[in-house]
Structure 1
């Protein structure tokens, strides 16, 4: 069961999604910061969208 879940996770993160993941996560973390989070996090998150 664990091996099946691991293989499904690996297949879903293959390709461009794996490259875009750090940008999406970083953008989400930056957006949590009050006042400056939204303007700074949106371009970082947009980079992840552009990669996909």
Structure 2
């Protein structure tokens, strides 16, 4: 019964924005790093855009 409730809660929280959030945050954090941040952060952030 407990596992069923956990699964229902997990399914109700799923969505494109929730899945894309880690990619967007990681891309933004990496973008702050001098010199290599922009080239590395842009593709990761783009993955979040594709998910949405």
Tell me the TM-score normalized by structure 2: 0.73
RMSD: 1.3
Show structure 1 runs of 5+ residues with no match.
1-12
State how many pairs are aligned.
Answer: 40
Partner SS state of residue 28, structure 2: helix
Larger radius of gyration: 2
Residue 14 of structure 1 and its aligned partner are, at CA, apart by: 5.0
Show structure 2 runs of 5+ residues with no match.
1-12
